[in-house]
Amino acid sequence: MDYMKEYEEWMTNPFFSEETRQELLAIKDNDKEIKERFYADLEFGTAGLRGIIGAGINRMNDYVVAKATQGLANYIIHRKKQSKGVVIAFDSRRCSPEFADVAALCLAANGIKAYVFESLRPTPELSFAVRYFGCIAGINITASHNPPEYNGYKVYWEDGAQITPPHDAGIMKEVKSISVQDAKTMPKQEAIHEGLYEIVGKEVDDAYIAELKKLVIHQDCIDKYGSELKIVYTPLHGTGNVPARRILRELGFQNVYVVPEQELPDGEFPTVSYPNPEAAEAFELALKLAKERDADLVLATDPDADRLGVYVKDKEGEYHCLTGNMSGSLLADYELGQIKATRGLPEDGALIKTIVTTNLANSVAEHYGVKVIEVLTGFKFIGQQILGFEQKRSGTYLFGFEESYGCLIGTHARDKDAIVATMALCEAAAYYKSKDMTLWDAMIDMYDKYGYHVDDIKTITLKGVDGLEKIKSIMETLKNNTPKEIAGHEVLWARNYDDDTATNMKTKAVLPTGLPKSNVVYYDLADEAWLCVRPSGTEPKIKFYYGVVGTSLENAQELSAKFGEAITKMIENML
């Protein structure tokens, strides 16, 4: 693509606003910036769009959002599903309400009714709302936990999960076949008058919260200890503040302290450089408040409230960080254990996890006699499995999670839900308190019972055109040159999901991976260790996931640290 030609088109075509022209005029002497904005269209990937806000075809702006929505509308119309409508939510980021309206008015101009939330709402509520209204699709304007300069556009299908085959490819094809100037729109008041734009809010909020309450197992423990437990919570300037506090209050948790500096929505995320509950800095203010209040647990949801970060206090008063693998396994063990104890587990019950998620989950499931289903990275594939259970009328979803701090309890939503996770973790804290245990005690008990699994990740950011080439080069090197050992662990199997092969490194036998084609490599290693490498689907990053099993927690942590050092050297050599 001739990036300078595209730049000139945006500069001179009266279709684009004067504000857009002035923004682009300011970079007229910056060839690198022009290239970054115009070398290619912002890719409509398998879930939608995500990019830096700004003018240009490789940026998030009204025109790119409208084009994506027109492509979605075309796909819906071709399938003759336009009468079902589309529900739209948005988060606290810059331009989120504006992008939501651009999408809604494009749909309306195509004769498709848009149900638009009155104000910011969490991702799981959008997922819930798709099925609540019986819509054909959903749109969520969010960039999740990305830095403040980003925004995004996620598309959901009628089952409430992010789009999967064949819909992802079908929508992508429609989006690629049109230009930004092909997108339709209409005046907002006209859309409202014609019944094509409806504002929604409290009715959905109440229905969503009611579904969460149905998932409580031990209200008795909450009734007894809800007034004693102390909980510090931060929504990190995002969408979780109202629903998280509401569900905890209505269940009976009386001591919930919200970090005041991070309570209100703010798309600039002024107190953190990166609004991600996976990052230690996201907890600095929350931990300070926790120590002042002597809190039992500390919780943080990301801006669209689909991920939950956790710190728990032990009996000596020290706070421990639970990774997504740890909190997910802890909740899996609690939910499976208490379902079994209170009403029994179904014979066709299943725990679903992604391939980069801890194998501790496998041990938990095996203990309870529950089937484990592994899927590619992305919660949409867990949602796809739930839909499969419903369509086949076989299989019962019990729990699903991924290492990146996301899980789902229940099937009210089909995406990870930090609000239900917040509720369940606080319930678990009340339950374990009835046993004179902290959540940290419960975590240590799990390790003693199932094995000392420690999992971690090394993430390398490689921005721009050059970064994409480096990521591509790393993946090609790994696919074509399988190492004999990694961090002192012999490679037993090498899985290349790009060509659907799993190779036994001793016998050279080749089996299918059993999962769809994906740009991922996975190594099963000796001593129950493993390594998986994949580019991020939403950010300019390549990720190295790994796990080890030790003879004690300290031993496992030492093994993990050595493994991490070896991975760092491997990355340096490839770069």
Q: Between helices 439-450 and 418-433, what is the axis angle to 10°? A: 90
Instruction: Take residue 555 and report the two structure tokens written for it.
Output: 């031993």
Active site residue 473: no
Neighbours of 21 (CB within 10 A): 16
Neighbours of 249 (CB within 10 A): 12
Residue 107 contacts residue 73 (beta carbons within 8 Å): yes
Residue 379 contacts residue 408 (beta carbons within 8 Å): yes
* Positions of E strands within 359-472: 371-375, 396-402, 406-408, 452-461
Residue 256 contacts residue 242 (beta carbons within 8 Å): no
Distances 569 to 420, 470, 487, 566 between C-alpha atoms, Å? 40, 16, 10, 5
Short-list 193, 174, 164, 179, CA closest to 414:
164
Burial, 35: exposed, middle or buried (Cβ in 10 Å; 0-12, 13-18, 19+)? middle
Burial, 503: exposed, middle or buried (Cβ in 10 Å; 0-12, 13-18, 19+)? middle
Helix (H, G, I), strand (E, B) or coil at 237: coil
* Positions of E strands within 248-307: 256-258, 297-301
Cα end-to-end span (Å), the chain: 27
Distances 448 to 163, 297, 441, 443 between C-alpha atoms, Å? 39, 22, 11, 9
- CA 129 to chain CA centroid, Å, is 18
Residue 534 main-chain phi, psi, to 5 deg: -155, 145
Round to whole Å and give the CA distance between 319 and 456. 19
Dihedral of CA 513/514/517/518: which sign? negative
Helix (H, G, I), strand (E, B) or coil at 573: helix
Helix (H, G, I), strand (E, B) or coil at 150: strand
Burial, 478: exposed, middle or buried (Cβ in 10 Å; 0-12, 13-18, 19+)? buried
* Cis bond upstream, residue 265 (ω within 30): no
Set 96, 127, 144, 404: catalytic member: 144
Instruction: Take residue 136 and report the two structure tokens written for it.
Output: 């054909």
Instruction: Take residue 204 and report the two structure tokens written for it.
Output: 């959905």
**133 DSSP assignment:** T
Residue 503 main-chain phi, psi, to 5 deg: -105, 125
Give the position of tokens 């089937």: 371
Round to whole Å and give the CA distance between 81 and 65. 21
Helix (H, G, I), strand (E, B) or coil at 336: helix
Active site residues: 144
